[in-house]
Structure 1
Amino acid sequence: MKVVNFILNVLWLIFCGFWMAIAYAIAGIICCVLIITIPFGIAAFRLAFFMLWPFGRTTVEKPDAGAASCVGNVIWLVFAGWWLAIGHFLTSIPLFLSIIGIPFGWANLKMIPVSLMPLGREIVSTDEGFGGR
Protein backbone atom coordinates (compact mmCIF):
# COMPACT_ATOMS: atom_id res chain seq x y z
CA MET A 1 0.00 0.00 0.00
CA LYS A 2 2.99 2.31 0.52
CA VAL A 3 3.73 2.20 -3.21
CA VAL A 4 0.15 3.25 -3.98
CA ASN A 5 0.38 6.10 -1.46
CA PHE A 6 3.69 7.19 -3.01
CA ILE A 7 2.20 7.27 -6.52
CA LEU A 8 -0.90 9.11 -5.31
CA ASN A 9 1.24 11.64 -3.43
CA VAL A 10 3.43 12.32 -6.47
CA LEU A 11 0.37 12.84 -8.69
CA TRP A 12 -1.26 14.97 -5.98
CA LEU A 13 1.86 17.12 -5.74
CA ILE A 14 1.89 17.69 -9.50
CA PHE A 15 -1.81 18.41 -9.97
CA CYS A 16 -2.75 20.45 -6.92
CA GLY A 17 -0.67 19.85 -3.81
CA PHE A 18 2.11 22.26 -4.71
CA TRP A 19 -0.30 25.14 -5.38
CA MET A 20 -2.33 24.57 -2.24
CA ALA A 21 0.85 24.30 -0.17
CA ILE A 22 1.92 27.69 -1.54
CA ALA A 23 -1.45 29.14 -0.50
CA TYR A 24 -1.03 27.78 3.04
CA ALA A 25 2.56 29.03 3.18
CA ILE A 26 1.45 32.53 2.15
CA ALA A 27 -1.20 32.46 4.87
CA GLY A 28 1.48 31.32 7.34
CA ILE A 29 3.87 34.09 6.36
CA ILE A 30 1.16 36.72 6.72
CA CYS A 31 0.23 35.35 10.14
CA CYS A 32 3.85 35.31 11.31
CA VAL A 33 4.45 38.88 10.12
CA LEU A 34 1.53 40.07 12.25
CA ILE A 35 3.32 38.68 15.37
CA ILE A 36 0.19 38.14 17.48
CA THR A 37 -1.07 35.54 15.03
CA ILE A 38 2.09 33.38 15.04
CA PRO A 39 0.15 30.33 16.35
CA PHE A 40 -2.03 30.58 13.24
CA GLY A 41 1.11 30.80 11.11
CA ILE A 42 2.48 27.63 12.67
CA ALA A 43 -0.81 25.85 11.95
CA ALA A 44 -0.72 27.12 8.36
CA PHE A 45 2.84 25.84 7.83
CA ARG A 46 1.90 22.48 9.34
CA LEU A 47 -1.00 22.23 6.89
CA ALA A 48 1.22 23.37 4.00
CA PHE A 49 3.44 20.33 4.58
CA PHE A 50 0.33 18.15 4.84
CA MET A 51 -0.90 19.50 1.49
CA LEU A 52 2.35 18.44 -0.16
CA TRP A 53 2.11 14.77 0.85
CA PRO A 54 -1.38 13.89 2.25
CA PHE A 55 -1.88 10.23 1.30
CA GLY A 56 -0.89 7.90 4.12
CA ARG A 57 -1.63 10.61 6.68
CA THR A 58 -4.79 12.08 8.15
CA THR A 59 -5.89 14.70 10.65
CA VAL A 60 -7.53 13.88 13.94
CA GLU A 61 -8.93 16.06 16.67
CA LYS A 62 -6.73 16.50 19.72
CA PRO A 63 -8.62 15.33 22.80
CA ASP A 64 -6.96 17.99 24.95
CA ALA A 65 -7.82 20.92 22.65
CA GLY A 66 -9.73 23.43 24.69
CA ALA A 67 -11.70 26.61 24.31
CA ALA A 68 -8.67 28.53 23.05
CA SER A 69 -8.52 26.39 19.90
CA CYS A 70 -12.25 26.93 19.37
CA VAL A 71 -11.86 30.71 19.62
CA GLY A 72 -8.74 30.51 17.44
CA ASN A 73 -10.63 28.55 14.80
CA VAL A 74 -13.30 31.26 14.63
CA ILE A 75 -10.60 33.91 14.09
CA TRP A 76 -8.85 31.67 11.54
CA LEU A 77 -12.14 31.05 9.71
CA VAL A 78 -12.79 34.77 9.32
CA PHE A 79 -9.31 35.80 8.19
CA ALA A 80 -7.80 32.84 6.31
CA GLY A 81 -9.95 29.71 6.46
CA TRP A 82 -12.62 30.65 3.99
CA TRP A 83 -10.01 31.80 1.42
CA LEU A 84 -8.26 28.45 1.64
CA ALA A 85 -11.57 26.57 1.49
CA ILE A 86 -12.46 28.45 -1.69
CA GLY A 87 -9.01 27.51 -3.04
CA HIS A 88 -9.70 23.83 -2.35
CA PHE A 89 -13.10 24.06 -4.00
CA LEU A 90 -11.81 25.87 -7.09
CA THR A 91 -8.87 23.47 -7.40
CA SER A 92 -11.20 20.48 -7.24
CA ILE A 93 -13.33 21.61 -10.21
CA PRO A 94 -10.72 21.00 -12.95
CA LEU A 95 -9.65 17.78 -11.23
CA PHE A 96 -13.17 16.38 -11.57
CA LEU A 97 -13.02 16.97 -15.33
CA SER A 98 -10.60 14.09 -15.91
CA ILE A 99 -10.92 10.48 -14.83
CA ILE A 100 -7.48 10.40 -13.19
CA GLY A 101 -8.27 13.62 -11.31
CA ILE A 102 -11.54 12.49 -9.70
CA PRO A 103 -9.90 10.94 -6.60
CA PHE A 104 -7.79 14.07 -6.19
CA GLY A 105 -10.82 16.33 -6.56
CA TRP A 106 -12.59 14.32 -3.89
CA ALA A 107 -9.53 14.47 -1.61
CA ASN A 108 -9.40 18.22 -2.15
CA LEU A 109 -13.02 18.58 -1.06
CA LYS A 110 -12.32 16.44 2.02
CA MET A 111 -9.65 18.95 3.07
CA ILE A 112 -12.10 21.86 3.23
CA PRO A 113 -13.12 21.18 6.87
CA VAL A 114 -9.46 21.05 7.88
CA SER A 115 -8.75 24.32 6.08
CA LEU A 116 -11.67 25.98 7.85
CA MET A 117 -10.78 24.86 11.38
CA PRO A 118 -7.15 23.65 11.69
CA LEU A 119 -6.51 24.41 15.36
CA GLY A 120 -7.07 21.55 17.78
CA ARG A 121 -6.14 18.99 15.12
CA GLU A 122 -2.99 17.01 14.53
CA ILE A 123 -1.62 15.18 11.52
CA VAL A 124 -1.01 11.49 12.09
CA SER A 125 0.17 8.60 9.97
CA THR A 126 -2.42 6.06 8.95
CA ASP A 127 -2.14 2.44 7.97
CA GLU A 128 -5.25 2.72 5.88
CA GLY A 129 -4.95 3.01 2.14
CA PHE A 130 -6.58 5.48 -0.18
CA GLY A 131 -10.32 5.76 0.36
CA GLY A 132 -10.22 4.39 3.90
CA ARG A 133 -9.65 0.77 2.88
Structure 2
Amino acid sequence: MAPVSILLNVIWILIGGAWMAVGWLIAAVIMAITIIGLPWARAAFNIAVYTLLPFGSRAVNRDQVTGVSDIGTGLLGVIGNIIWFVLAGWWLALGHVLTAVVFAITIIGIPFAWAHLKLAGIALWPIGKVIVPA
Protein backbone atom coordinates (compact mmCIF):
# COMPACT_ATOMS: atom_id res chain seq x y z
CA MET A 1 0.00 0.00 0.00
CA ALA A 2 1.32 3.43 -0.91
CA PRO A 3 2.18 5.91 1.85
CA VAL A 4 -0.59 8.26 0.72
CA SER A 5 -3.13 5.43 0.98
CA ILE A 6 -1.90 4.57 4.47
CA LEU A 7 -2.22 8.21 5.55
CA LEU A 8 -5.72 8.51 4.06
CA ASN A 9 -6.79 5.25 5.72
CA VAL A 10 -5.54 6.44 9.13
CA ILE A 11 -7.36 9.76 8.73
CA TRP A 12 -10.44 7.85 7.48
CA ILE A 13 -10.53 5.70 10.62
CA LEU A 14 -9.97 8.66 12.95
CA ILE A 15 -12.69 10.89 11.49
CA GLY A 16 -15.44 8.34 11.39
CA GLY A 17 -14.87 5.68 8.75
CA ALA A 18 -14.78 3.05 11.46
CA TRP A 19 -18.43 3.55 12.38
CA MET A 20 -19.60 2.45 8.91
CA ALA A 21 -17.30 -0.58 9.12
CA VAL A 22 -19.05 -1.40 12.40
CA GLY A 23 -22.37 -1.09 10.56
CA TRP A 24 -21.16 -3.61 7.99
CA LEU A 25 -19.98 -5.92 10.78
CA ILE A 26 -23.37 -5.70 12.49
CA ALA A 27 -25.04 -6.60 9.19
CA ALA A 28 -22.63 -9.53 8.77
CA VAL A 29 -23.35 -10.82 12.29
CA ILE A 30 -27.11 -10.50 11.85
CA MET A 31 -26.92 -12.37 8.56
CA ALA A 32 -24.66 -15.05 10.07
CA ILE A 33 -27.04 -15.63 12.99
CA THR A 34 -29.69 -16.67 10.50
CA ILE A 35 -28.15 -19.68 8.81
CA ILE A 36 -29.88 -18.70 5.56
CA GLY A 37 -27.98 -15.41 5.56
CA LEU A 38 -24.48 -16.92 5.44
CA PRO A 39 -23.77 -15.90 1.81
CA TRP A 40 -24.65 -12.31 2.68
CA ALA A 41 -22.61 -12.49 5.88
CA ARG A 42 -19.48 -13.35 3.92
CA ALA A 43 -20.02 -10.48 1.49
CA ALA A 44 -20.79 -8.05 4.33
CA PHE A 45 -17.67 -9.08 6.25
CA ASN A 46 -15.44 -8.62 3.18
CA ILE A 47 -16.90 -5.19 2.56
CA ALA A 48 -16.57 -4.30 6.27
CA VAL A 49 -12.82 -4.79 5.91
CA TYR A 50 -12.89 -2.70 2.71
CA THR A 51 -14.93 -0.02 4.50
CA LEU A 52 -12.34 0.11 7.26
CA LEU A 53 -9.46 0.59 4.77
CA PRO A 54 -10.93 1.90 1.49
CA PHE A 55 -7.92 3.77 0.13
CA GLY A 56 -5.54 1.65 -1.94
CA SER A 57 -8.23 -0.91 -2.82
CA ARG A 58 -11.24 -1.08 -5.07
CA ALA A 59 -14.24 -3.34 -5.56
CA VAL A 60 -14.73 -5.05 -8.91
CA ASN A 61 -16.97 -7.79 -10.23
CA ARG A 62 -15.57 -11.20 -9.40
CA ASP A 63 -15.99 -12.49 -12.96
CA GLN A 64 -13.72 -9.69 -14.21
CA VAL A 65 -10.97 -10.92 -11.87
CA THR A 66 -11.39 -14.66 -12.39
CA GLY A 67 -12.55 -14.57 -16.00
CA VAL A 68 -15.41 -17.00 -15.34
CA SER A 69 -18.94 -16.62 -14.05
CA ASP A 70 -19.97 -18.32 -10.83
CA ILE A 71 -23.04 -18.49 -8.59
CA GLY A 72 -22.50 -15.00 -7.18
CA THR A 73 -22.12 -13.36 -10.56
CA GLY A 74 -25.05 -15.11 -12.25
CA LEU A 75 -28.81 -15.18 -11.74
CA LEU A 76 -28.56 -16.39 -8.14
CA GLY A 77 -26.26 -13.45 -7.40
CA VAL A 78 -28.86 -11.05 -8.78
CA ILE A 79 -31.57 -12.65 -6.64
CA GLY A 80 -29.22 -12.53 -3.63
CA ASN A 81 -28.51 -8.85 -4.24
CA ILE A 82 -32.23 -8.06 -4.42
CA ILE A 83 -32.79 -9.83 -1.10
CA TRP A 84 -29.75 -8.02 0.35
CA PHE A 85 -31.10 -4.66 -0.84
CA VAL A 86 -34.41 -5.25 0.92
CA LEU A 87 -32.88 -6.55 4.17
CA ALA A 88 -29.78 -4.41 4.70
CA GLY A 89 -28.47 -2.70 1.58
CA TRP A 90 -30.64 0.37 1.60
CA TRP A 91 -29.83 1.42 5.17
CA LEU A 92 -26.09 0.86 4.75
CA ALA A 93 -26.19 2.88 1.52
CA LEU A 94 -28.18 5.59 3.29
CA GLY A 95 -25.57 5.74 6.05
CA HIS A 96 -22.80 6.14 3.47
CA VAL A 97 -24.69 8.83 1.54
CA LEU A 98 -25.51 10.85 4.65
CA THR A 99 -21.90 10.62 5.80
CA ALA A 100 -20.73 11.65 2.32
CA VAL A 101 -22.93 14.75 2.46
CA VAL A 102 -21.38 15.74 5.79
CA PHE A 103 -17.84 15.22 4.47
CA ALA A 104 -18.53 17.05 1.20
CA ILE A 105 -19.18 20.29 3.08
CA THR A 106 -15.43 20.92 3.36
CA ILE A 107 -12.79 20.73 0.65
CA ILE A 108 -10.62 18.47 2.80
CA GLY A 109 -13.53 16.05 3.23
CA ILE A 110 -14.21 15.59 -0.51
CA PRO A 111 -11.96 12.51 -0.94
CA PHE A 112 -13.70 10.91 2.04
CA ALA A 113 -17.12 11.84 0.67
CA TRP A 114 -16.17 10.23 -2.64
CA ALA A 115 -15.09 7.05 -0.84
CA HIS A 116 -18.44 6.94 0.98
CA LEU A 117 -20.33 7.32 -2.29
CA LYS A 118 -18.40 4.40 -3.80
CA LEU A 119 -19.20 2.35 -0.69
CA ALA A 120 -22.88 3.32 -0.98
CA GLY A 121 -22.97 1.78 -4.45
CA ILE A 122 -21.40 -1.40 -3.14
CA ALA A 123 -23.87 -1.42 -0.23
CA LEU A 124 -26.72 -1.71 -2.70
CA TRP A 125 -25.27 -4.62 -4.71
CA PRO A 126 -22.44 -6.47 -2.84
CA ILE A 127 -22.83 -10.09 -3.99
CA GLY A 128 -20.36 -10.97 -6.74
CA LYS A 129 -17.87 -8.24 -5.79
CA VAL A 130 -14.26 -8.81 -4.78
CA ILE A 131 -11.83 -6.31 -3.26
CA VAL A 132 -8.54 -5.93 -5.12
CA PRO A 133 -5.56 -3.60 -4.71
CA ALA A 134 -5.96 -0.39 -6.70
Normalized against structure 2, the TM-score is what?
A: 0.89
In structure 1, the residue matched to 2:19 is 19
Q: Tell me the secondary structure at the aligned position of residue 111 of structure 1.
A: helix
Counterparts of 1:75 and 1:94, CA distance in 2: 29
User: Number of residues paired by the alignment?
Assistant: 126
2:43 is the counterpart of 1:43: yes
- Unaligned 5+ segments in structure 2 are 64-68
Counterparts of 2:119 and 2:16, CA distance in 1: 12
Letter of the 1:84 partner, please give it: L
Q: CA deviation at 1:94?
A: 1.7
Percent of aligned pairs with the same residue? 44
Q: CA deviation at 1:16?
A: 2.8
Q: Tell me the secondary structure at the aligned position of residue 54 of structure 2.
A: coil
- Unaligned 5+ segments in structure 1 are 127-133
Counterparts of 1:111 and 1:44, CA distance in 2: 12
Q: Tell me the secondary structure at the aligned position of residue 55 of structure 1.
A: coil
In structure 2, the residue matched to 1:6 is 6
In structure 1, the residue matched to 2:66 is none
In structure 1, the residue matched to 2:108 is 100
Counterparts of 1:55 and 1:112, CA distance in 2: 15
Counterparts of 1:117 and 1:68, CA distance in 2: 13
Q: Tell me the secondary structure at the aligned position of residue 36 of structure 2.
A: coil
Residues 76-118 of structure 1: CA distance to partner in whole angstroms, max 9, x if unpaired?
0011000000000111122112221111012111221111000
In structure 1, the residue matched to 2:55 is 55
Q: CA deviation at 1:26?
A: 0.5
Counterparts of 1:100 and 1:13, CA distance in 2: 15
Q: Tell me the secondary structure at the aligned position of residue 9 of structure 2.
A: helix
In structure 2, the residue matched to 1:90 is 98
Counterparts of 1:102 and 1:62, CA distance in 2: 28
Q: Which runs of 4+ in 1 moved over 3 A?
A: none
Letter of the 1:35 partner, please give it: I
Counterparts of 1:14 and 1:117, CA distance in 2: 27
Larger helix percent: 2
* More divergent stretch after superposition (34-43 vs 93-102): 93-102
Letter of the 1:67 partner, please give it: L
Counterparts of 1:56 and 1:6, CA distance in 2: 8
